[in-house]
Chains A and B, each alone.
Chain A
Amino acid sequence: MVQLQEVHLDASFAALSDATRRGILQRLGHADASITDLAGRFRMTLTGMKKHVGVLEQAGLVITEKVGRVRTCKLGMRRLEEVSAWIERYHQLWDARFDELDRIVEELKRKKRVDGKRKGR
């Protein structure tokens, strides 16, 4: 798991080492765009733009979706997935704590019943 994360990170850094690719991310931060839009904006050929988008896609920084003849690019979900993994662990921690707390509440309830009987005598 950790190794996999590191591979992703290396890919992220490689993807970010290029000024054009950083520009693409910045552009997609404002709005989704097609490969054709991006090629026009960065004055590149379609083939060149496809390559850059491919690198960003591999790093998980961008996702693309083809609808009809247009391939639309948007910012990737990788960071969001990492965040939900954290929330999952946080959830596990509280869940485990509360299971133990359940036991304590049961113990206190038993104790109260025993004490109650004693007082009743």
Chain B
Amino acid sequence: MKNPTTVERQSERELVVTRTFNGPAHMVFEAWTNPELLKRWWVPKSFGISFVSCEADVRTGGTYRFVFSHPDFEQPMAFFGRYIEVTPHSRIVWTNEESADGPVTTVTFEEKDGKTLLVLRELYASRQALDDALASGSSSTGGAAEQFELLDELLATLARS
């Protein structure tokens, strides 16, 4: 049976994802740190995205660069950043530097009775940064994203006036 995934906005600037895996922490950790394995699950087939390249030097101070393509993208999209902390089998922390206000992501692995509880936290610099990420992601086209920005500006002006 499949274990449920939960997503929660736990504070003004934090999103939290949890999931249990039916295997020991060292195996789940390996799937995150071995680029060959990471490549196989990070871009789910159902999303129509595929890897153009996947470079990940998963150790404290190492960097990563993922390039994806999708039939709807005019150009491949790159995601990159740095691993701030990599502690075998228990914790990985990295930055998301493709946008100025990118969050810091922390994943922890906690093993109990042969199963592993995974908790992923995306911590944004400010409430505004998380709100912006939510607003830009809420539209499926770039044009609509710009419209939201315009609407946000209008609403922000109202709040100040």
Contact = CB atoms under 8 A, between A and B. Distances in A.
Contacts of A109: 23, 27
Interface string A90-112: 11011111111111111011001
B7 A25 contact: no
Sorting the interface of chain B by its residue count into under 10, 10 to 19, 20 to 34 or 35 or more gives: 35 or more
Given A25-B158, A90-B137, A109-B27, A101 B41 contact: yes
Interface string A74-95: 0000000011011101110111
Sorting the interface of chain A by its residue count into under 10, 10 to 19, 20 to 34 or 35 or more gives: 35 or more
Interface in B1-17: 2-3, 5-7, 9, 15, 17
Interface stretch (B42-50, B58-66, B89-97): B42-50
B75 interface: no
A2 B159 CA distance: 28
Nearest to B4: A95
B41 A100 contact: yes
A55 interface: no
Given A13-B151, A86-B138, A106-B23, A99 B2 contact: yes
Contacts, number: 108
Contact of A16 (B3, B41, B154): B154
Nearest to B161: A26
B159 A26 contact: yes
B134 A83 contact: yes
Nearest to A19: B161
Given A82-B135, A89-B137, A98 B151 contact: no
A82 B135 CA distance: 8
B5 A83 contact: no
Contacts of B134: 82-83, 86-87
B98 interface: no
Contact of A96 (B46, B137, B155): B46
Contacts of B148: 9, 82
Given A13-B151, A25-B158, A96-B46, A102 B137 contact: no
A26 B135 contact: no
Interface of A: 1-2, 5-6, 9, 12-13, 16, 22, 25-26, 29, 82-83, 85-87, 89-91, 93-106, 108-109, 112
Interface of B: 2-3, 5-7, 9, 15, 17, 19, 21-23, 27-28, 30-31, 37, 40-42, 44-47, 118, 120, 134-135, 137-141, 144, 147-148, 150-151, 154-155, 158-159, 161
